Each structure stands twice: as C-alpha cells, then as structure tokens.
C-alpha cells in the first residue's frame, strides 16, 4: 500500500479538468487500497485571495502553515505529488529537495500567456523548468506532449494517461428529439480555451456548456450561440450524446478529458492539430484534426459510424491511468 500526499491549488468547488483528474484518480487509489491525503486551498487555516480575472480560482496566501505537515509526511515515507504551479505548489517545491516529489504539467501556460500578452513563451519557460526539473518524475498525458516539453529542456518526463467513466458517458444517453442538430463544446469558460474560435464556426446551431469568467463576454459577443451554463452528471452526458460533433478548440490544454467523454458518448470530435488531442483523435475514425477548425468540424459531423467512436474510447480507463500514476510516483 502506498501513502500519497497530493498538493494542489485546484480543488472543489472549482470545476475543471485538473480537479476531475485528481478526483477520479483518488477514487481509484482508494479502491486499490492506497491511502491519500490532499492539501488544497480549502483546508482549515488557509487564507485565500481570488485570482485577478479568474475570481472562481482562489490562491492560498499563507502556504507556510503546512510546512511541517509536508516534511513529516516525507519522513514518514509518503509519496509527495505537487499537482499545480500555484502558491501551494510553489511553496512545496521550494521546501522540498530534488527527487523528493513528483509533478504534473497540465496546461501550456507559457503559450497561453504569450497569446494574451504578446510576451514570448520562452520568457516563462525558465520558471517552469525550475518547478518541474527537480521532480523525480514530471507527468504529462501524452507522448506528443512529452516530446514537445523535452525539446523545451524538461527532464524526467513520464506519461500519465487519463480515463473516462463509461457508466455515465455512453450512447444510451442519446434521447430521441426533433430539435435542430447542434455541435457542442464543453469547457471552463475562460480566455485560454479558444472559445471564440468555437463561437465563430459557421454552423446553424452551436451549444457551449460551462461557466467561467469569460461567459458574459461571449454571451454579448455571440448572441446566436446557446449557453445553458454548467452541467454535470446525466444532464451533461445527454448533451454529449445528442450532439452531431464535439469541438475542442483549445491550443493550450495538454489533454482534454472532455474529448474522452465525447468519444465514450459516441460523438466524434473536431479539434486543432495540437499535442493534446493528437493521441486521442484517430483521423476519419473517431474525429478530425486540422489547422482549419471549420474543416475539422465538417469532417467530424459527416462521420456516421458512432460504434467506432465508442470503441476508440475503451482503452482510456481510470484504472489504467491510476496504475500509470502509481508507477510514476514510485520511480
């Protein structure tokens, strides 16, 4: 049995791929008999401040209060995993020595910052190399992302895949309806997700499910797009299963769990040609990637063998992903 301490700046009530990844992994770790503790911003004693422009994200102002807890866990043989590069993650990285922890690279923040500020991405990479290169293992979800980061000077890169819950996301969620067909995007509604590109697509009906700081701007800018808000559980699964195609417009995500949820629902995926989706989308089989998102959507909506789409999702399981996580923290 492993004892694992996860330190993360992203946790409930935040709703995003990082939170869902760790929630599902921890559930599976418990099922396998491992002990897990999580240090997150909503633990007792932390003072928090809202991140400017992202008020739903709260960062810890006094991370040093958990110093002894982290060091005691290390001495007691716990595996330390730093999930994010926020104030909690940075503090943990600062007090731990080389090879005493593992990390994960979830988002291409240097490229995102460049897109928002025009400051070149290379300016920010030294910080991310400092953060991750002392880790025993830096986990990424796909081989293309690993190769991309290795070219940027990252070391000890390991693969940690992702999974999907087929009991929730499956074609049985498709309901008989006479409503107008639609293409779907499910996302945290923030600037870095490329959602303007989705809203601009030339398709009669577009539905964007999610919530976030960019939502009101998009509503005003694209009045013909439907914004039903945040959805979870069966209601979310039904949105996936009834869509003609799912669109993943992000250029900064390292993976995209929403892609797997769509595939498990039998709905093909359209995306840009990026390291995140390249390992999950099989061209002309379960979706399409292209530098021209309009073209990718056109091809994806014409795919009719939805059984093939579902079949392509079956290799992505949380059991397999969790075993990869365990192997990486044990290196």
CB 88 within 8 A of CB 39: yes
Mean pLDDT of 118-137: 93
Is the peptide bond preceding residue 197 cis, with omega within 30 degrees of 0? no
Q: Which of 13-22, 149-158, 215-224 has the lowest mean pLDDT?
A: 13-22
- Give the model's pLDDT for residue 252: 84
Mean pLDDT of 253-270: 94
For 189-212, what is each residue's pLDDT tens digit? 988 899 999 999 999 999 999 998
Using CA atoms, how far residue 211 sits from 109, 125, 309, in Å, is 20, 29, 27
Q: In what side-by-side order are the strands of the sheet with 206-209?
A: 226-229, 206-209, 183-186, 245-248, 269-271, 287-289
> Which structural domains are found in the chain, ordered by start?
3-163+318-329 (3.40.50.2000), 171-313 (3.40.50.2000)
The pLDDT confidence band at residue 151, using thresholds 50, 70 and 90, is very high
For 275-316, what is each residue's pLDDT tens digit? 889 989 999 999 999 999 999 999 999 987 889 999 999 999
- Give the model's pLDDT for residue 190: 87
- Give the model's pLDDT for residue 116: 75
Query: For a pLDDT cut of 90, what percent of the chain falls above it?
Result: 79
- Report the C-alpha gap between 139 and 201 in whole angstroms: 34
């Amino acid at each position: 049995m492993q004892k694992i301490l996860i330190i993360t700046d992203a946790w409930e009530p935040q709703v995003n791929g990082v939170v869902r990844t760790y929630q599902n992994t921890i559930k599976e770790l418990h099922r396998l008999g491992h002990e897990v503790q999580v240090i997150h911003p909503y633990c007792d004693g932390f003072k928090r401040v809202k991140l400017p422009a992202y008020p739903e994200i709260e960062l810890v102002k006094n991370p040093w209060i958990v110093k002894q807890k982290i060091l005691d866990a290390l001495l007691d043989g716990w595996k330390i995993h730093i999930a994010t590069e926020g104030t909690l993650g940075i503090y943990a990285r600062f007090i731990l020595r080389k090879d005493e922890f593992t990390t994960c690279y979830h988002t291409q923040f240097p490229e995102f910052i460049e897109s928002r500020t025009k400051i070149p991405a290379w300016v920010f990479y030294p910080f991310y190399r400092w953060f991750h290169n002392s880790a025993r293992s830096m986990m990424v979800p796909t081989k293309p992302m690993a190769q991309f980061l290795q070219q940027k000077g990252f070391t000890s890169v390991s693969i940690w895949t992702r999974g999907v819950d087929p009991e929730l996301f499956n074609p049985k969620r498709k309901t008989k309806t006479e409503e107008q067909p639609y293409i779907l995007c499910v996302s945290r509604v923030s600037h870095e997700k490329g959602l303007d590109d989705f809203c601009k697509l030339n398709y009669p009906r577009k539905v964007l499910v999610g919530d976030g700081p960019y939502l009101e701007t998009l509503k005003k800018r694209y009045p013909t797009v439907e914004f039903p808000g945040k959805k979870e559980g069966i209601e979310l699964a039904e949105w996936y299963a009834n869509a003609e195609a799912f669109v993943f417009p992000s250029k900064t995500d390292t993976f995209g769990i929403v892609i797997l949820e769509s595939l498990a629902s039998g709905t093909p995926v359209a995306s840009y040609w990026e390291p995140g989706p390249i390992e999950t989308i099989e061209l002309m089989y379960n979706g399409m990637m292209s530098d021209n998102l309009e073209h990718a959507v056109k091809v994806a909506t014409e795919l009719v063998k939805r059984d093939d789409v579902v079949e392509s999702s079956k290799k992505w399981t949380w059991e397999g992903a969790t075993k990869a996580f365990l192997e990486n923290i044990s290196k």
